[in-house]
Amino acid sequence: MVTTPSPLLADRFAPRPEFGRTDLIVVDADPATAWKSLRGLDLTELRGGLAALAVWVRDAPERVRGRPARTPTRLTWNDLDAGTDWMILGENPGQEIVLGAVGKFWRPVVKWMPCEPRDFPDFAEPGYGKVVWSFTALPYGDRRTLFSSEIRVTLTDPRAWLSFRRYWRISTPAIALIARSVLRTAKNDAERL
């Protein structure tokens, strides 16, 4: 029997977030099947027309640098880790994966700050935000799974907090749309397996 990890990996990277949101969905599949669909998710296949947004986010740093965008065949969590400023911070196989990024997200063109996963918890350079995006797949009854998507944001100083607060108010609907689309797509994939 799989039990809820305590504490969650997300707690290690953002124990006291200043902003956040959580989305949940019940999946009619056992936890192993559900995890397989979540962990293997191809973000170019998000439901609700969000695949283009996922590709746009992935290629934004290249466009800013004046390089042509790539045409992806797949965009997985590992691809984000290897080819963008997002990183896999940690994983509890079969239960939880945590991604993160450091940047000034509230700017028209995001200023990303390179950071290694081991340095993420202690990163404190003024003017930046740290975002943690975690996904869990936990047993829900005998044959179902509860998927969660949790976004946690921590800012490194009061000025960054004020800037991000304005951004958060405007961007929350889009962030919610993306998080729910990830969960719905993984759910649909798991229920087809």
Global pTM? Answer: 0.84
pLDDT of residue 109: 87
Beta-carbon neighbour count of residue 109 at 10 Å? Answer: 10
Q: Judge whether 58 and 80 are in contact, CB under 8 Å.
A: yes
Sign of the CA dihedral 61, 110, 21, 168?
Answer: negative
- Whether the pLDDT of residue 167 is over 90: the answer is yes
Per-residue pLDDT band at 35 (split at 50, 70, 90): very high
Phi, psi of 176 (to 5 degrees): -65, -40
Can you tell me the distance from the alpha carbon of 73 to that of 70, in angstroms, rounded to the nearest whole number? 9
Q: Give the model confidence (pLDDT) of 55-111 as tens digits.
A: 555 555 555 555 555 555 678 899 888 878 899 999 999 999 999 999 999 998 889
pLDDT of residue 45: 83
More confident residue, 70 or 137: 137
Beta-carbon neighbour count of residue 151 at 10 Å? Answer: 22
pLDDT of residue 57: 58
- Non-local (6+) Cβ contacts of 33 within 8 A are 145, 190, 193
Can you tell me the distance from the alpha carbon of 152 to that of 22, in angstroms, rounded to the nearest whole number? 9
